[in-house]
């Protein structure tokens, strides 16, 4: 299995997963040109993607879904409430080959299964995912709200984890955000802090865990150094840590 973060953060998110000829993109919060160019830099053709799977209706995850769908021909897979909310807020324009799923149901692409489960993040109908190709399991866990049971189970079952490490509590508390936004971020429908993310992985991961990629870092309320330190302190030196860049693609990570 191969994983590439094409971009990660509040300015846009898109992730690529490949296994044995099955190619999937999760979220379309960046331009089609950027996604195409960044995949090409890794020797991949975005026109070969089998499906575009959307996690929820916030702009940094779905705003460019219409372009991806029309330009690259990938079926668009998302929940019905997510599509309704996205259409109400963004100009998705004409869509073709739209397929709905219900969180908790499994998606199948040849030998690859994508397990979906609902999150309490404050989108219309958010989902997180575990990609299973029969040999390895990759958990894709961003925009989570707070730690909950399905999240613990996903981490425990995973060979690799892509997880949000959104904010440092001290930076957020003393930063420029208004109080209402601070409450939203730290609330049950917001994001995980560095410490919450690190504690979750450290307490739930099994011996099969091969690496962790930290995603969705806040530009204003976090730094890569703080996120990495929190996870290194919790996990020790044995688990490789990676960062999903805010303005570029990640290295190609293998399982």
DSSP character string of the chain: -EEEEEE-STT--EEEEEETTEEEEE---S-HHHHHHHHHHTT--GGG--EEE---SSHHHHTTHHHHHHHH-PPEEE-HHHHHHHHHHS------SEEE--BTBEEEETTEEEEEEE--SSSSS-EEEEEE-SS-EEEEE-S-BS--HHHHHHHHH-SEEEEE--B-HHHHHTSSS-HHHHHHHHSTTB--BHHHHHHHHHHH--TT--EEEEE---SSS--HHHHHHHHHHHH-SSS-EEE--SSSPPPPEE-
pTM above 0.95, yes or no: yes
β-bridge pairing 76-78 and 51-53:
parallel
CA 14 – CA 132 distance, rounded (Å): 19
CA 249 – CA 243 distance, rounded (Å): 10
Q: Parse the chain into domains and list their residue ranges.
A: 1-102, 136-246
Q: What is the pLDDT of residues 71-91, one digit of tens each?
A: 999 999 999 999 999 999 988
pLDDT in tens, the chain (255 residues): 999 999 999 999 999 999 999 999 999 999 999 999 999 999 999 999 999 999 999 999 999 999 999 999 999 999 999 999 999 998 898 999 999 999 999 999 999 999 999 999 999 999 999 999 999 999 999 999 999 999 999 999 999 999 999 999 999 999 999 999 999 999 999 999 999 999 999 999 999 999 999 999 999 999 999 999 999 999 999 999 999 999 999 999 999
The answer to whether 200 and 151 are in contact (CB under 8 A) is yes
* Look-up of token digits 């690859």: 112
User: Which among 124, 17, 113 is positioned nearest to 62, based on CA atoms?
Assistant: 124
Sequence-ordered list of residues with C-beta below 8 angstroms from that of 191, at least 6 positions apart, any chain: 121, 143, 144, 145, 164, 166, 167, 185, 216, 218
User: Which among 129, 114, 141 is positioned nearest to 213, based on CA atoms?
Assistant: 141
For residue 241, what are the β-bridge partners? 212
How confident is the model at residue 50, as a pLDDT?
98
How confident is the model at residue 91, as a pLDDT?
85
CA 138 – CA 115 distance, rounded (Å): 10
> How is the beta sheet containing 137-141 ordered, strand by strand?
106-109, 112-118, 127-132, 137-141, 160-164, 211-215, 241-243
Q: What is the largest CA-CA distance in the chain?
A: 49
* CATH 3.20.20.70 for domain 1-102: no
């Amino acid at each position: 299995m191969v994983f590439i973060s094409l971009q990660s953060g509040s300015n846009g998110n898109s992730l690529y997963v490949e296994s044995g000829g099955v190619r999937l993109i999760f979220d379309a919060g960046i331009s089609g040109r950027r996604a195409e160019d960044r995949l090409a830099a890794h020797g991949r053709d975005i026109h070969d993607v089998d499906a575009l799977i959307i996690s929820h209706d916030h702009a940094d995850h779905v705003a460019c879904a219409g372009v991806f769908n029309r330009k690259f021909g990938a079926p668009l897979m998302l929940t019905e409430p997510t599509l309704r909310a996205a259409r109400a807020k963004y100009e998705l324009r004409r869509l073709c080959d739209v397929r709905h799923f219900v969180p908790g149901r499994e998606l199948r692409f040849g030998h690859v299964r994508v397990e979906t489960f609902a999150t309490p993040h404050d989108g219309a109908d958010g989902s997180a995912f575990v990609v299973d190709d029969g040999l390895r399991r990759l958990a894709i866990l961003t925009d989570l709200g707070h730690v909950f049971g399905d999240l613990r189970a996903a981490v425990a079952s995973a060979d690799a984890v892509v997880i949000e490490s959104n904010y440092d509590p001290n930076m957020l508390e003393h930063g420029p955000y208004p109080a209402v936004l601070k409450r939203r971020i730290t609330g049950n429908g917001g994001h995980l802090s560095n410490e919450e993310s690190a504690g979750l992985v450290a307490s739930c991961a099994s011996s099969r865990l091969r690496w962790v990629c930290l995603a969705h870092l806040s530009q204003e309320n976090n730094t890569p150094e703080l996120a990495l330190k929190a996870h290194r302190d919790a996990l020790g030196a044995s688990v490789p840590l990676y960062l999903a860049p805010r303005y570029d693609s990640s290295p190609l990570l293998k399982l």
